[in-house]
Chains A and B, each alone.
Chain A
Amino acid sequence: MQAPFSAPAKLAGKQARRKPVISLTPLIDVVFILLVFFMLASSFMDWRSLSLDTSAAGEPAPAEQTPFVVQISKESLRLNGDAITLEALIDKARARQPADQPVHLQPSSDTRVQGMVSILDALSAAGVQPLKLVEDPGWRPAPAQGASGDSPQGSATGAEP
Chain B
Amino acid sequence: MHFPERRPDHTEERILPLINVVFLLLIFFMIAGSLSVTEPFEVEPPASQSQDRHEPDSLTLLMGTDGRFAVANETLTRAQTLQRIETRIEEQPQTRVTLKADGRLPANRLVRFTRALYETGVEKLRLLTRPADS
Q: Which of A's residues lie within 8 Å of B, judged by CB?
A: 1-2, 15, 18, 21, 24, 27-28, 31-32, 34-35, 38-39, 41-54, 56-57, 72, 107-118, 120-121, 124-125, 133-136, 139, 141-142, 145-154, 156-160
Q: Which of B's residues lie within 8 Å of A, judged by CB?
A: 1, 5, 9, 12, 15, 18-19, 22-23, 25-26, 29-30, 32-36, 45-55, 65-69, 77-79, 98-99, 101-112, 114-115, 118, 124-131
Q: Is the CB of A149 within 8 A of B115?
A: no
Q: How far is the CB of B134 from chain A (nearest CB, A)?
A: 8
Q: Is the CB of A42 within 8 A of B35?
A: yes
* With A49-B50, A49-B128 as contacts: A24 and B19 at CB distance below 8 Å: yes
Contacts of A18 in B (CB 8 A): 9
* With A34-B26, A149-B67 as contacts: A113 and B48 at CB distance below 8 Å: no
Q: Is the CB of A156 within 8 A of B66?
A: yes
Q: Is the CB of A47 within 8 A of B130?
A: yes
Q: Is the CB of B50 within 8 A of A157?
A: no
Q: Is the CB of A52 within 8 A of B33?
A: no
Kindly identify which residue among A2, A49, A112, A151 contacts B126, using a CB–CB cutoff of 8 Å: A49
Q: Is the CB of A42 within 8 A of B36?
A: yes
- Give the CA-CA distance A43 to B38 in the complex, in Å: 11
Contacts of B126 in A (CB 8 A): 49-52
Q: Is the CB of B104 within 8 A of A43?
A: no
Q: Nearest residue in B to A39 (C-beta to C-beta)?
A: B29
- Give the CA-CA distance A32 to B22 in the complex, in Å: 7
Q: Is the CB of B130 within 8 A of A45?
A: yes
Contacts of B1 in A (CB 8 A): 1-2
Kindly identify which residue among A38, A117, A158 contacts B33, using a CB–CB cutoff of 8 Å: A38
Q: Is the CB of A49 within 8 A of B103?
A: no
Contacts of A39 in B (CB 8 A): 29
Q: Known contacts A118-B46, A147-B66; can you find 17 more A-B pairs with CB under 8 A?
A: A38-B33, A43-B35, A47-B45, A47-B129, A48-B48, A49-B129, A52-B125, A107-B108, A108-B108, A117-B48, A118-B48, A125-B49, A133-B114, A135-B108, A135-B111, A149-B67, A151-B79
Q: Is the CB of B115 within 8 A of A147?
A: no
